[in-house]
Structure 1
């Protein structure tokens, strides 16, 4: 708008408290005959615009002027997709946050790595900020690289923010690859308050990639240990390394935890002196020299975790569990078969084929090994090779309807691909 001049609202901005950082921008707008948005674009600082800076210092008058008179986008992206709303949150001004939300700011706008404003508010532990975002429609279970807002609140021990999230039906049993459950996050943070809140909300005290009771024992969190046991946690479930909570407590030298766990833990066959002192001595000796029994138990536990992850369609974690088990037993064909399935579901045909071939080499007479090879070749669009692999599987197990169906699909795909080749 050529000939544009600063209005009365803009002049009031100049005398608003705490706006020295943006006063120069407003003066530039007053003097310029250019479109005000062009002036604002030319005066960005460190990738942030005037609205970002005004929001950061919590000046509602400046924000109002820029949004309502100049028409600045309330969701304008700055450096690393930082929005004015996020700047207002970092500034801690609820009034500014409320103004931006009331004027169209998207409470679910992704900043980076899947983070939305609610993740940041949960991590900051600001109860009022979390409440405000939720009332404006923020997604309570949005997943970021660090988990849901509840995961983040738990990991940082922000019990006040956690209360609000749980009151708004946040999923307290959400399991994510590499992050686990909010309960495990709370234990990692050594936050007894957060653990109690999650247990009271109904969190599963026996679920997770790592059993919560084992995690608490490993960190020597006596209060958490008691809370979990009272809520029904099973003391006879080992961690991924095959160690029971009582063994972990003994390894840490937390005698009180060993005493708490002793009456509720089943006898361990390899512990000849089943007493509190005997368990502590045994744990220390095992930590110095891992026995075959311990190694076998770890493999079985890793397999179990892999199966649980597959049932949740978490193939990345399942593949990791099977890979860890292979480090202890590199000659188990079922591990290669199971991991091949994981690669297949994740769309990696080459890795799926590599594991399937290794599986066939170990057990050449196993129908499933042939089937895994055929499935991998189908994904790679090698329909001829897939047909041959499924034929081998059918010879070994002629009654399998699954193999028959796969063979028909491979032959049909091969016929279609040959037809397409002739046409071209």
Structure 2
């Protein structure tokens, strides 16, 4: 529980009880600052000044729970309190608290107080400041909390519209939260609609939230709808969520319905399982026939998918089918028939999409066929499932080497070698990556 979760006075009541007179003086002091009560700030500072340093010095130096008076003043954002603390006491407008690393202006942003934000920036606060934990800038904070007026103001003061943090870009954050008004503002200020964060772009973030309004704004702003990356395919996400309007919009924008997800399932198959008949009908004219489906029609696709689901509920069928597919895949791989091997691995993954060995093997197939991106996608999925499996990191490193991203390959292979230090194959590629980076 932190100061952003519970207003300070309420937090202090939880910690110290209802009777304010029994709170520690420092807590009462910070609560007075939170309320913007300059008279009470001075009064309590006088009680705290047992060594006679004077009220201004005591006001400047008094902290509680890592916060000083200027951090707490963001609670109500009363400008008289800011004027006293900054102009008379001379407190540092860029000093972070020790609890969350929030500066005074970051506290003002998180409390949604635009006048306080304006005042602090006018008095020297840095609009580009970032928390070291997570690289979170002021714009990220305003975007994640939905404060559109503060977003607009920060941009007018030169905030970096595409700043990257652990949360993503401000645009990705706004899209994930479904804040269409903020998405629109950021795009008007030339935010990059294709800048990925955590490997997912703003368009995928919007669809994750099922925000069709954000999705439309992003497409108008130039977002890539192609879905070339399996795990970041917007049409797949729309189909999985049954977002009929989004499917229509993506197809009109040129999205490719023949790009499968990580487990080899096309958007039309996902619509048959998760969406409606209408979704299947919309996708049908744009989708190339699937060879394993005998009856290529809307009814045939729906029946086929329903039959697959029923079969997956039969444990014996799944076990026998998986064994057969793995055997066919391995035989094809030994013959260096990588296209068919990858096809069999894909069919097996439809039955068990958590089989990391299948992902690892298919990643190698893609690599042998010269498709570094798909090899990387499978290796990344494999690594997420088994983060302590050396081969997953090795496969990712090999894919990155193929794509000539030697610095990232070195990092992946370093982790692989750390997990399996005696593996000569990993060690050889690791040294190669280190030389090339």
Aligned counterpart for 2:430 among listed residues 348, 365, 376: 376
C-alpha distance in 1 between matches for 2:150 and 2:344: 48
Aligned counterpart for 2:410 among listed residues 329, 342, 345: 345
C-alpha distance in 1 between matches for 2:295 and 2:224: 33
Q: Once the 2 structures are TM-superposed, how far is the Cα of residue 181 of structure 1 from its aligned partner?
A: 0.5
Residue 206 of structure 2 aligns with which residue? 186
Aligned Cα RMSD in Å?
Answer: 3.7
User: Which aligned pairs between 1:8-407 and structure 2 lie closer than 5 A?
Assistant: 19-20=36-37, 23-29=39-45, 32=49, 33-36=52-55, 38-40=57-59, 43-78=62-97, 79-111=99-131, 112-177=133-198, 179-207=199-227, 208=229, 209-287=231-309, 288-289=311-312, 292=325, 293=343, 295-296=345-346, 307-308=372-373, 319-321=379-381, 323=383, 335=395, 338=398, 341=401, 344-346=409-411, 348-349=413-414, 351-352=416-417, 373-377=427-431
C-alpha distance in 2 between matches for 1:271 and 1:162: 41
Q: Once the 2 structures are TM-superposed, how far is the Cα of residue 46 of structure 1 from its aligned partner?
A: 2.7
Segments of structure 1 that go 5 or more residues without pairing to the other structure are: 1-14, 361-368, 381-405, 410-424
Q: Once the 2 structures are TM-superposed, how far is the Cα of residue 348 of structure 1 from its aligned partner?
A: 4.8
Q: Normalising to structure 1: TM-score of the pair?
A: 0.71
Q: Once the 2 structures are TM-superposed, how far is the Cα of residue 222 of structure 1 from its aligned partner?
A: 0.7
Q: Normalising to structure 2: TM-score of the pair?
A: 0.69
C-alpha distance in 2 between matches for 1:48 and 1:192: 41
Q: Which has the larger radius of gyration?
A: 1
Segments of structure 2 that go 5 or more residues without pairing to the other structure are: 1-31, 313-317, 326-342, 350-358
Deviations 1:12-66 (A, max 9, x none): xxx999534x543222446754154641355323322111222221111110111
Q: Does the 8 A contact of 1:239 with 1:301 survive in 2?
A: no
Q: Does the 8 A contact of 1:150 with 1:170 survive in 2?
A: yes
Seen in structure 2, the aligned counterparts of structure 1 residues 85 and 17 have a Cα distance that, compared at 3 Å, is closer
Q: Does the 8 A contact of 1:55 with 1:96 survive in 2?
A: yes
C-alpha distance in 2 between matches for 1:250 and 1:56: 50
Residue 7 of structure 1 aligns with which residue? none
Q: Does the 8 A contact of 2:34 with 2:69 survive in 1?
A: no
- The DSSP-based 3-state class of the residue aligned with 2:268 is helix
Deviations 1:287-323 (A, max 9, x none): 344764563366598566982289xxxx8x7742464
Residue 392 of structure 1 aligns with which residue? none
Corresponding pairs, count = 347
Structure 1 stretch displaced more, 98-107 or 229-238? 98-107
C-alpha distance in 1 between matches for 2:260 and 2:277: 19
Seen in structure 2, the aligned counterparts of structure 1 residues 176 and 90 have a Cα distance that, compared at 3 Å, is closer
- The DSSP-based 3-state class of the residue aligned with 2:64 is coil
Q: Once the 2 structures are TM-superposed, how far is the Cα of residue 107 of structure 1 from its aligned partner?
A: 1.8
- The DSSP-based 3-state class of the residue aligned with 1:81 is coil
